[in-house]
């Protein structure tokens, strides 16, 4: 269909107009009905990629607190340049928390405060966001609440170099060298992650390595007979392309990440790499016994969507039993044959390897990928072991979730996530407005319940800070099976209208909501709400 972007904008957004949206932004998607699977363009590595399933899966180390007192656990993380052998024989420069990619995992108890001192030894400003955290606004990692490099660089960073209104410094704040983030963590057990959130540069800075897990545990979850310890494994999925010498390849307009942000025009719909990394390693393998394992799967890719599947499937039953989502455990488990996962979503699943004979190699596939991106990792069922876990039919108390009904909602607010023109450039916008850090777009009242409606042109994974929500409907129909439970990111498909409901409680203050395709986010598909 030959509709240009401009025509598309003129036509406006047609709710449920499935025929319109896939006409652009799908060049990396395989043909044959999967055209709207991912929005983005493929960037190819210039070095040879390794053979898959040769390297064993690493699990990021759990960070020790520097001290614990009666009120909180205190951590220190230094963001710095590091080296990693991601491709055999080559050293990749990473920008990582503690210099590693992924960063170290933080483990916290629900209701016990965690304080993280982030120290910036990188050459650029950073802001650190705890994704999925119910966090006071001052510690939420607002995009313009920046930690400047500890060591002053020749160029000082001013808001003038950024998007937004250059005459308006309102909404910017700067910390020299470090900032203490205060996380009360008054929330249930869940798989959170922390990542960079610097205005205009989140895409390239996460791509260079600034992402890690933060897992919250609680008593309710501990009492369940789910797989534990070595069998409770976080998996961070992301795609990357590699340049000369094994460097991360990213199409920044200004690769120093010092001046203006943005990517080359061809990649504005999203950067897709041709290598799939799990916990920072390309297509790893993991040896397992013939028992159940729990995998906390996070899609930390900038733009890539996956549809996860197992190959071979065991003859009996569905491959994945989902036990949790973005906001923690489900009320009861949900079996899936395949699971679509958009950027920033978390899917917590149990896989039962007892259904395979010892010796079987089971591949985790990506049904939305082609060639190198069609596979993710592999499990080798190498030994027998006594089963100690089960998946109970009742997982968690969801009474607060069930109580969240449409009749409680005071407002329905509508947001259109589309491409738009801004100063003669194509950018991404919400209700035709580009991000301005000082503009408050909506003001939900503390404790009030609202329905938010997201409509799209192409695919946009929509994320709200602070407020966890329930997905009510997609194009007026039932949500997808994977939309179940508490969510903070919803995978809005092309030409869809998705309705979610949330109670805005926790804290007053200014928070962002945005598309979690990081190229869209950097190209201004973000807005503020202030809880009043």
Site residues, ligand C2O (CB under 6 A): 129, 131, 195, 197, 344, 463, 465, 512, 514, 516
Please give the C-alpha separations between residue 349 and each of 191, 293, 329, 366, 391, in angstroms, as whole numbers.
12, 8, 10, 16, 10
- Pick what 515 binds: ligand C2O, Cu ion, none; C-beta below 5 to 8 Å, kind-dependent: Cu ion
- Pick what 80 binds: Cu ion, ligand C2O, none; C-beta below 5 to 8 Å, kind-dependent: none
- Pick what 195 binds: ligand C2O, Cu ion, none; C-beta below 5 to 8 Å, kind-dependent: ligand C2O
Relative to beta strand 178-183, strand 449-456 is: unpaired
Closest CB 463 distance from ligand C2O, rounded Å: 5
- 379 DSSP β-pair partners: 286, 362
Whole-angstrom distance, CA of residue 234 vs CA of residue 346: 10
Q: Does the protein bind Cu ion through residue 514 (CB under 5 A)?
A: no
The position carrying tokens 């979610």 is 500
Nearer to Cu ion, 330 or 515 (CB): 515
Nearer to ligand C2O, 304 or 516 (CB): 516
Closest CB 516 distance from ligand C2O, rounded Å: 6
Closest CB 392 distance from Cu ion, rounded Å: 30
Nearer to ligand C2O, 164 or 319 (CB): 164
Evaluated on CA atoms 398, 401, 405, 406, the torsion sign reads negative
Residue 205's Cα: distance from chain center in Å? 14
Closest CB 272 distance from Cu ion, rounded Å: 13
Q: Pick from 515, 523, 526, 531: which binds Cu ion (CB under 5 A)? A: 515
Number of residues that bind Cu ion (CB under 5 A): 6
Q: Can you read off the two tokens belonging to residue 240?
A: 């990357």
Closest CB 350 distance from ligand C2O, rounded Å: 25
Evaluated on CA atoms 150, 154, 159, 164, the torsion sign reads negative
Closest CB 448 distance from ligand C2O, rounded Å: 22
Nearer to ligand C2O, 87 or 512 (CB): 512
- Pick what 344 binds: ligand C2O, Cu ion, none; C-beta below 5 to 8 Å, kind-dependent: ligand C2O
- HSE toward the beta carbon, residue 366, CA cutoff 13 A: 29
Pick out residues in 118-177 that bind Cu ion (CB under 5 A).
131
Closest CB 488 distance from Cu ion, rounded Å: 6
Closest CB 514 distance from ligand C2O, rounded Å: 6
Whole-angstrom distance, CA of residue 418 vs CA of residue 20: 13
Nearer to ligand C2O, 157 or 463 (CB): 463
Q: Pick from 460, 474, 482, 514: which binds Cu ion (CB under 5 A)? A: 460
Nearer to ligand C2O, 257 or 300 (CB): 300
- Pick what 303 binds: Cu ion, ligand C2O, none; C-beta below 5 to 8 Å, kind-dependent: none
Please give the C-alpha separations between residue 242 and each of 40, 116, 247, 505, in angstroms, as whole numbers.
17, 32, 5, 43
Closest CB 71 distance from ligand C2O, rounded Å: 27
- Pick what 197 binds: Cu ion, ligand C2O, none; C-beta below 5 to 8 Å, kind-dependent: ligand C2O
- HSE toward the beta carbon, residue 461, CA cutoff 13 A: 30
Q: What does 248-310 look like in DSSP terms, one character per residue?
A: EE--BSSTTSSS---B-GGGTT-EE-SEEEETTEES-EEEEESSEEEEEEEE--SS--EEEEE
Query: Candidates 253-261, 358-366, 384-392, 519-527 — which segment interacts with Cu ion by CB under 5 A?
Result: 519-527
- Pick what 496 binds: ligand C2O, Cu ion, none; C-beta below 5 to 8 Å, kind-dependent: none
Q: Does the protein bind Cu ion through residue 465 (CB under 5 A)?
A: yes
Evaluated on CA atoms 512, 517, 518, 522, the torsion sign reads negative
Among candidate residues 59, 67, 141, the one with its CA nearest the CA of residue 104: 59
Query: Candidates 68-76, 115-123, 473-481, 520-528 — which segment interacts with Cu ion by CB under 5 A?
Result: 520-528
- Pick what 520 binds: ligand C2O, Cu ion, none; C-beta below 5 to 8 Å, kind-dependent: Cu ion
CB-nearest residue to ligand C2O: 131
Whole-angstrom distance, CA of residue 487 vs CA of residue 466: 11
- Pick what 305 binds: ligand C2O, Cu ion, none; C-beta below 5 to 8 Å, kind-dependent: none
Q: Does the protein bind Cu ion through residue 192 (CB under 5 A)?
A: no
Among candidate residues 434, 464, 485, 468, the one with its CA nearest the CA of residue 129: 464
Q: Pick from 41, 279, 517, 528: which binds Cu ion (CB under 5 A)? A: 517
Radius of gyration of the chain (CA): 22
Q: Can you read off the two tokens belonging to residue 299?
A: 């899609």
What is the per-residue burial (b if ≥16 Cβ within 10 Å, else e) of 85-117?
A: ebbeebebebbbbbbbbbbbbbebebebbbbbe
Tell me if 488 sits within 8 A of 468, measured CB to CB. Answer: yes
Nearer to ligand C2O, 29 or 128 (CB): 128
Among candidate residues 245, 210, 228, the one with its CA nearest the CA of residue 129: 210
- Pick what 404 binds: Cu ion, ligand C2O, none; C-beta below 5 to 8 Å, kind-dependent: none
Q: Can you read off the two tokens belonging to residue 79?
A: 């963001």
- Pick what 294 binds: ligand C2O, Cu ion, none; C-beta below 5 to 8 Å, kind-dependent: none
Q: Pick from 60, 294, 520, 526: which binds Cu ion (CB under 5 A)? A: 520
Binding site for Cu ion (CB under 5 A): 131, 460, 465, 515, 517, 520
């Amino acid at each position: 269909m030959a509709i240009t972007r401009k025509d598309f904008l003129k036509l406006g957004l047609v709710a449920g107009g499935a025929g319109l949206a896939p006409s652009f932004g799908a060049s990396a998607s395989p043909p044959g009905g999967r055209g709207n699977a991912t929005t983005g363009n493929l960037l190819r590595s210039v070095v040879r990629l390794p053979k898959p399933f040769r390297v064993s899966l690493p699990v990021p180390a759990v960070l020790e607190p520097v001290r614990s007192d009666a009120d909180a656990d205190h951590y220190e993380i230094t963001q710095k340049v590091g080296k990693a052998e991601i491709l055999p024989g080559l050293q990749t420069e990473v920008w990582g928390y503690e210099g590693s990619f992924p960063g170290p995992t933080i483990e916290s108890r629900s209701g016990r405060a965690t304080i993280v001192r982030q120290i910036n030894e990188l050459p650029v400003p950073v802001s650190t966001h705890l994704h999925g955290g119910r966090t006071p606004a001052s510690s939420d990692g607002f995009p313009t609440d920046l930690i400047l490099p500890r060591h002053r660089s020749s160029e000082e960073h001013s808001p003038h170099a950024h998007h937004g209104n250059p005459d308006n410094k309102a909404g910017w704040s700067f910390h020299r060298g470090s900032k203490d983030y205060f996380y009360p963590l008054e929330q249930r057990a869940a798989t959170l992650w922390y990542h960079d959130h610097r205005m205009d540069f989140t895409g390239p800075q996460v791509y260079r390595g600034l992402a890690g897990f933060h897992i919250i545990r609680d008593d309710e979850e501990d009492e369940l007979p789910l797989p534990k310890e070595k069998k409770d494994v976080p998996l961070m999925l992301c795609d990357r392309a590699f340049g000369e010498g094994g460097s991360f390849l990213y199409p920044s307009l200004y690769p120093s990440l010092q001046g203006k942000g943005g990517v080359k025009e061809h990649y504005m719909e999203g950067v897709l790499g041709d290598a799939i990394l799990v916990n920072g390693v390309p297509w790893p393998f993991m040896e397992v016994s013939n028992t159940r394992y729990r995998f906390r799967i996070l899609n930390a890719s900038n733009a890539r969507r996956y549809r996860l599947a197992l190959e071979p499937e065991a003859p009996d039953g569905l491959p994945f039993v989902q036990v949790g989502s973005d906001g923690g455990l489900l009320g009861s488990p949900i079996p899936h044959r395949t699971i679509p996962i958009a950027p920033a979503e978390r899917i917590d699943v149990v896989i039962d390897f007892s259904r395979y004979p010892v010796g079987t190699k089971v591949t985790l596939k990506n049904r939305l990928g082609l060639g190198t991106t069609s596979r993710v990792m592999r499990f080798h069922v190498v030994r027998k072991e006594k089963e100690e876990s089960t998946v109970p039919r009742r997982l968690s108390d969801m009474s607060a979730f069930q109580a969240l009904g449409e009749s409680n909602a005071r407002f329905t607010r509508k947001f259109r996530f589309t491409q738009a023109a801004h100063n003669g450039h194509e950018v991404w916008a919400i209700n035709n407005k580009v991000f301005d850090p000082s503009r408050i777009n909506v003001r939900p009242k503390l404790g009030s319940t609202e329905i938010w409606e997201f409509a799209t042109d192409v695919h946009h994974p929509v994320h709200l800070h602070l407020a966890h929500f329930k997905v009510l409907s997609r194009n007026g129909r039932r949500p997808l099976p994977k939309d179940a439970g508490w969510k903070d990111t919803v995978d809005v498909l092309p030409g869809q209208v998705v309705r979610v409901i949330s109670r805005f409680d926790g804290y007053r203050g200014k928070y962002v909501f945005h598309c979690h395709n990081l190229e869209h986010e950097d190209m201004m598909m973000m807005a503020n709400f202030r809880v009043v």
